[in-house]
Chain A
Amino acid sequence: MNDANAKPAAARRGRKGRVLEVWRRLKRNRLAMAGLAILAVLFLTALLADLVAPFPSDKQDLENTFSFPSRAHLFGTDEFGRDILSRVIHGSRISLSVGFLAVGFSVVIGGAIGAVAGFYGKRIDNVLMRFMDVLMSIPQILLAISIVAALGPGLWNLMIAVGISSIPGYARIVRASVLSIKDREYIEAARAAGSGDARIIFRHIVPNCLAPIIVQSTLGVATAILTAAGLSFIGLGIQPPTPEWGAMLSGGRGYIRDYWYMTLFPGLAIVFTILGLNVLGDGLRDALDPRLKSSR
């Protein structure tokens, strides 16, 4: 007792301290920091698109169509003479929000379904997972098409459609990790302490199955952007003059032999987003796992 009072230095760090600790570990990972920097730049340009972009995204210049990248148009212009750089910048708003919100939506819903199915098992598991199997049996893009066709085109409906169509994947992954964790003795220990189901799931099970969720969702953002692009391409997603990376990519496809820069730049934007997310996701996964602390 005396010992405890005499040593205030041994007082624990608390929640804030642990967040700082994760950040400190993340900072040591250079690759993850590069990923974070890429994403920060992308998000900043998305936020400040009106200030950063040299031209409005829909300003046409019909005398100057298909111009090669030059000082005036760094990324060149498209078939209507619109500045590709400005369209990539404005498009980041749509693409990033579709990517992140759709994935966020499906991780939360799919994760919850998977956690409940894995944790309670038996009939609940069967009902939920068979329903997920039904969803899974429909190709993702077809499912998204039918949902967006039912809801009507538009940014929000697009996000919902993409989100719903990727729910089963997350449900499966989370269920599998929950199954592997729920029989560990520390779950029994939590129960012996009197913890309810919700506390066991959120405090003891979910944190221990973060790793596959993080990996899957960083890849998922890429898939979501591409699915959204596909939907835009067939006219069910973002409607034409609005710039969106996927739509630009598919719009430039027809001209790829002669005017490759029309597809290159929106493609690169997608590549960098995914790259940044993946390396940041990997770093985050490692930083969040206290077991890996000393190994680096």
Chain B
Amino acid sequence: MSEALLEVKGLKKHFETKKGMLHAIDGVDFAIREGETLGLVGESGCGKSTTGRAILRLHEPSSGQVLYRGEDVTRLSPARMKAMRRRMQIVFQDPYSSLNPRLPVAELIAEPLRVNRVYARKPEEAERVAAVMELVGLEARLIDSYPHELDGGRRQRIGIARALSVEPEFVVLDEPVSALDVCIQAQILNLMAELQRKLGLTYLFISHNLSVVKHVSDRIAVMYLGKIVELSDYKSIFVEPLHPYTQALLSAIPTTRPERRKERIILEGDVPSPIEPSPGCRFCGRCRYRRERCAAETPELREVGAGRFVACHYYDALGEKKGN
């Protein structure tokens, strides 16, 4: 395995609200190896998008480190951060609101090139724009179109072209397909896989859709209420989920073979508020295996097997309990 391209250590992002401090991300650790795709799943509001944005400092992290090839991104000066942005890009969820409606396709794609003064001469820039458009499968004739004239799939291709125009190594994909039709989702996912192969990209793939994440990820991190509860390679997570939340999540995936359906775990109650959360395990109020220690002590993410991490005090006791 190649070394880590990006390492996130103890990343926190708190927002001040009128009701108190909102812990959007509360100490997240993971590493992404060069060339791999790390899937980040969780329900809405769990902080997965905030994590992606905090890594790129679109939201300034409250504390923690983001090491990119060993360099702490969170401490870079504005000038060096600007240079760093060429290496880390993002594709947004909504291709309708992520494109400036006043700019035609060519300007949208050229914008990062201009901001970073990549090319001194216009013809070179135009050539690069044309090359990126071809790379993502946008017809050259669309160069003067405006975003509102195009369908969701093409718009998302513009978003991808914009991110790739400056030749980044690492791309945060923030729910890149969840606003698209199912058939276009597949096209975009395949495009992204192809681009990763061709350009050697590293992805952080954020999604709430387990089947999409399963399709694209090498490893998967499951997030719940601002914390990562489980992180493993994609097979282990689907075959043998360790954290009670992951188990519940997986049991909710619809199956095409009802006769082989496993026990469905129905969670009780709601996700607790992320504003001034109580100490202890975040999941403890809804966990069917909870014990006293869970409410008192926050379980840390620890390695429990080769490349498998889980944040649960009693993950190994869960099997017995289930047997009872």
Residue-wise, chain A 277-295 has the 8 Å CB interface mask toward B (1 for contact) of: 0000000000001110110
CA of A185 to CA of B101, assembled, Å = 11
* CB within 8 Å for A194 and B146 given contacts A1-B134, A4-B134, A186-B99: no
A266 CB, min distance to chain B CBs, angstroms: 40
Category for how many chain A residues contact B: 20 to 34
Q: Closest residue of chain B to A10, judged by CB?
A: B140
B118 CB, min distance to chain A CBs, angstroms: 11
Q: Which of A189-225 contact B (CB under 8 A)?
A: 189-195, 199, 204, 207-208
A134: Cβ under 8 A from any B Cβ: no
Residues of B within 8 A of A13 (CB): 144
* CB within 8 Å for A3 and B82 given contacts A185-B97, A186-B100: no
CA of A59 to CA of B56, assembled, Å = 72
Give the B-binding residues of A (Cβ under 8 A).
Answer: 1, 3-5, 7, 10-13, 17-18, 184-186, 188-195, 199, 204, 207-208, 289-291, 293-294
A193 touches B92 (CB 8 A): no
Q: Which of B217-237 contact A (CB under 8 A)?
A: none
CA of A37 to CA of B320, assembled, Å = 87
B116: Cβ under 8 A from any A Cβ: yes
Q: Flag the segment in B124-132, B182-190, B310-318 that touches A.
A: B124-132
CA of A289 to CA of B166, assembled, Å = 28
Residues of A within 8 A of B140 (CB): 3-4, 7, 10
Residues of A within 8 A of B116 (CB): 193-194
Which residue of A3, A11, A194, A291 is within 8 Å of B134 (Cβ)?
Answer: A3
Residues of B within 8 A of A289 (CB): 102
A-B contact pairs, 15 of them (CB 8 A): A4-B134, A4-B140, A5-B127, A10-B130, A11-B143, A18-B104, A188-B58, A190-B115, A193-B112, A194-B82, A204-B100, A208-B100, A208-B101, A208-B102, A290-B102
B99 touches A12 (CB 8 A): no
Residues of A within 8 A of B106 (CB): 12
CA of A259 to CA of B110, assembled, Å = 64
CA of A78 to CA of B99, assembled, Å = 60
* CB within 8 Å for A188 and B92 given contacts A12-B143, A290-B148: yes
Residue among B58, B111, B143 having the largest count of chain A Cβ atoms under 10 Å: B111
B268 CB, min distance to chain A CBs, angstroms: 35
B85: Cβ under 8 A from any A Cβ: yes
Residue-wise, chain B 121-163 has the 8 Å CB interface mask toward A (1 for contact) of: 0000011001101100000110110101100000000010011
B235 CB, min distance to chain A CBs, angstroms: 32
CA of A184 to CA of B143, assembled, Å = 23
Known: A184-B97, A192-B58. 6 other contacts (CB 8 A): A12-B104, A192-B56, A193-B111, A199-B115, A208-B102, A290-B148
B246: Cβ under 8 A from any A Cβ: no
Q: Closest residue of chain B to A18, judged by CB?
A: B104
Residues of A within 8 A of B86 (CB): 194
Which 5 interchain pairs have the tightest Cβ spacing? A4-B130, A193-B112, A185-B98, A194-B85, A10-B140
A224 CB, min distance to chain B CBs, angstroms: 28
Residues of B within 8 A of A191 (CB): 58
A173 CB, min distance to chain B CBs, angstroms: 18
B148 touches A189 (CB 8 A): no
* CB within 8 Å for A12 and B144 given contacts A185-B92, A208-B102: yes
A192 touches B134 (CB 8 A): no
CA of A228 to CA of B146, assembled, Å = 43
CA of A13 to CA of B100, assembled, Å = 18
A11 touches B126 (CB 8 A): yes
B37: Cβ under 8 A from any A Cβ: no
Residue among A4, A5, A17 having the largest count of chain B Cβ atoms under 10 Å: A4
B146 touches A293 (CB 8 A): yes
B54 CB, min distance to chain A CBs, angstroms: 12
Which residue of A10, A204, A207 is within 8 Å of B141 (Cβ)?
Answer: A10
CA of A10 to CA of B105, assembled, Å = 12
Q: Closest residue of chain B to A191, judged by CB?
A: B58
Residues of A within 8 A of B207 (CB): none
B148 touches A193 (CB 8 A): no
CA of A4 to CA of B134, assembled, Å = 8
